[in-house]
Amino acid sequence: MKDDANEPLVKVDPSTGLQKGMQLIPNGILEDNYPRNMWWCAAFANEVTEKPMSRWLLELPIVMYRMSDGTPVALDDRCPHRWAPLSQGKIIDDQIQCPYHGMTFGKDGMCTLVPTQDNVPKNAKVNSYPLRESGNYIWIWMGDPDAIDCEPIDMSYTTDPAWSYVNGYYEVTANWVLIRENVMDLTHIAYLHADTFQQGDWDTAPHVSMDGDTIVYTQDFDPSPLSPLFCAGFGFPDGKVVKREQEGRMPTLAVSFSDWIVHDIEAQQGDRVDYLVRGAHVVTPAKRGTTHYFWGAAFDVPSITEEVATKTRASIKKAFDEDRALLEHMQAAIESDPRGLNYPEVNLSADGAAVRVRQILKRKLKAERGAAA
């Protein structure tokens, strides 16, 4: 089957500058546009403790905590009696006690105790959600539990001592698809991140293909200075000239990886030549129009110093602040514009990966909504 991801995506009418002859696949950013039957990131692993925490996930309030053996639990954060948030309660013998009237719920969401009466109503329960822990991430399945057909993406490298790992978190006031498309098209680095990444050679479209259900993009660059965001992590001086390649992979709508494959062209005989820094972009819908964005950067070198980790984290955050500000402006403008999504949208040759994101999203939503009909 011919892979046409790098063919021109649109035909443009030269008289108007608008596209013609192509039906766009909308990203649905003003709507409920996320599949439920898949693993989404609920939290970094160290966020979930024996103290209840509340987080909106897929437009629902969820409470999470760990039992005494370390097992994470996720329940609806809303007592079925008078709807008090369970996250304001406390954990007693691995169960969560509502702060309002003391009703207690187990890991399966079933009420086990009503202090004011001997019997427990059969309908006194809340939804519980499957959780899985992989590396530094906890994943949640909020769709049909009988539809679970896979495990979450393997993130074990994030806790592997052979790697050095830094991460961060944003709550972004923008739909998750805007973030996903942003990190799947790195040609914006040359413009939006001109002062932070300082990689002006991101001005050509990558090659895009599919590896099964995984979107893959690859790109090769001539020798140039490595971004200062990553030099310290490898012990390189700022401005060091390297040969680099880029490979991005999106195995699910929730997570994508961006590998910077770095070759030290100045290495002396016997010195290390090849290095890798892996960016992880993990998104989860929160409330309507907001997204949890969990990012990570891992260097395939062990034990970078805390000073280097702090510097690297601050540098990456400064760049991602630029993304966040622009995406939030975009979301606000689209929500305020009375034309909404009824506005011309032109795809470019660099949008091959983003278009495939929309194709996968459309297919998954259609399958779920068809099954529910």
Per-residue pLDDT in tens (0 to 9) along the chain, 373 residues: 444 444 444 454 444 343 443 445 678 899 899 999 999 999 999 999 999 999 999 999 999 999 999 999 999 999 999 999 999 999 999 999 999 999 999 999 999 999 999 999 999 999 999 999 999 999 999 999 999 999 999 999 999 999 999 999 999 999 999 999 999 999 999 999 999 999 999 889 999 999 999 999 999 999 999 999 999 999 999 999 999 999 999 999 999 999 999 999 999 999 999 999 999 999 999 999 999 999 999 999 999 999 999 999 999 999 999 999 999 999 999 999 998 888 888 888 999 999 999 999 999 999 998 876 5
d(CA 285, CA 197): 27
d(CA 157, CA 136): 9
Q: In the prediction, which pLDDT does 340 show?
A: 86
For residues 197 and 189, is the Cβ–Cβ distance under 8 A?
Answer: yes
Q: In the prediction, which pLDDT does 263 show?
A: 97
Residues 6+ apart with CB under 8 A from 192: 322, 323, 326
Q: In the prediction, which pLDDT does 20 show?
A: 46
Give the position of tokens 């009466």: 117
Q: In the prediction, which pLDDT does 16 show?
A: 35
Q: In the prediction, which pLDDT does 12 show?
A: 47
Residues 6+ apart with CB under 8 A from 275: 234, 261, 262, 263, 264, 299, 300, 301
Q: Six-digit token pair at 242?
A: 């390297």
Q: In the prediction, which pLDDT does 4 show?
A: 47
d(CA 120, CA 8): 63
Strands of the 53-57 sheet, one edge to the other? 53-57, 60-66, 72-76
Q: In the prediction, which pLDDT does 24 show?
A: 56
Q: What are the Cα distances from residue 172, in Å, to 250, 286, 315?
A: 20, 9, 19
d(CA 179, CA 33): 13
The pTM of the full predicted model, rounded to 2 decimals, is 0.91
Domains of the chain: 39-147 (2.102.10.10), 157-372 (3.90.380.10)
β partners of residue 249: 216, 257
d(CA 268, CA 283): 41
Q: What's the start-to-end Cα distance of the chain, in Å?
A: 32
